[in-house]
Amino acid sequence: MVNNKLLINERQADLGQFMVGRLLPFRGKRQVGPFTFIDHMGPATIEKDRYFDVDQHPHIGLSTLTYLFKGEIEHRDSLGSVKIITPGDVGFMTAGHGVTHTERTPKAKRTGEAFEMHGYQIWIALPKDQEDIEPHFQFFDKSEILSWSQDNLKIKLVAGHAFGKSAPLQGYSPLFMVDILAKEETTLDLSNQLKGEVAFVIVEGEITEKDHKVKAGQMLISKTDEQCKICLAKGTRLLLFGGEPLGQEHFLLWNFVSSDKAKLKEASERWQQKAFPKVPEDETYIPIPEVFLRK
């Protein structure tokens, strides 16, 4: 604990050929606003025989957001969407009542030459009355993302409302995701700039909150909503996540999110019966890990 804030360190998780650092959920803090799950991918060197390949897997009750600093991911889903996500782009898939997708290194990057991979994959829980909406996929090119400079900071509004501005991507409840780079050492005052709970994910560099330093690979969650003031060292990059809480508890079971545990069980059974829609021309299948079947 850092004064009135919660400090969280990354925990490593193995995705087969790729290691990620998991920041959320965390014991004692399951969500920040509607943000339910945050995985940090890399930084890592991707090379021959170690490409990023996540086979067919399902989701319900959430939206996934993919945001990269380096590398590329090809997104394919059961809706027929095919999109290569590159640094600065935003891929946003809303699962609703059920969708299946894959994430892979694109064919054009499978040349045998090594390249760097670095980014974040995020789950955003849907409000209770929208958990069963029709699935769909949205893509926002880097050129569409709002970007500006102020107070020695370069700011990109990835999603939602912040700093008096609105992003093309709004989501389904009041939220924000902001990418901030400090060109010089500076102080960031968030008073009246955001609404709701806020988490600081330090991508590179460090921030100082009162007398405490928070370094890359850590996440700081404020317990006093948006009334925060922090100091960023020169070259520090951080992501701000958060927004208004959804108002009801949401539960997780493997890749499924819902405010109703019965829906999680039903989705689990559907996936085991291979009753979810499939990604076209893809026969891969990730079974539910045994640990989740016992819950």
Q: Is the dihedral of CA 180, 24, 1, 222 positive or negative?
A: positive
The tens digit of pLDDT for each residue in 220-260 reads 877 655 557 889 999 999 999 999 999 888 999 999 999 99
The tens digit of pLDDT for each residue in 75-106 reads 999 999 999 999 999 999 999 999 999 999 99
Beta-ladder partners of 199: 221, 241
Please compute Rg for the chain using Cα positions: 19
**Which domains are assigned to the chain?**
5-243 (2.60.120.10)
Q: Residue 1: its pLDDT value, please?
A: 34
Q: What share of the chain is helix, strand, coil (3-state, %, to 5)?
A: 10, 50, 40
- What are the backbone dihedrals phi and psi of residue 263, each rounded to the nearest 5 degrees, phi first? -65, -35
Given the structure tokens 């969500």, which residue do they identify?
31
Grade residue 265 by pLDDT with cuts at 50, 70 and 90: very high
CB atoms within 10 A of CB 111: 9
Q: Is the dihedral of CA 196, 197, 202, 203 positive or negative?
A: negative
Q: Residue 236: its pLDDT value, please?
A: 96
Query: How many percent of the chain have pLDDT more than 70?
Result: 88
Q: Residue 288: its pLDDT value, please?
A: 95
- Evaluate if pTM is beyond 0.75: yes
Q: Which one-letter DSSP state was computed for residue 142?
A: G
pLDDT surpasses 60 at 18 = no
- Maximum distance among all alpha carbons in the chain? 55
Q: Which one-letter DSSP state was computed for residue 280?
A: T
Q: Mean per-residue pLDDT for 49-68?
A: 95
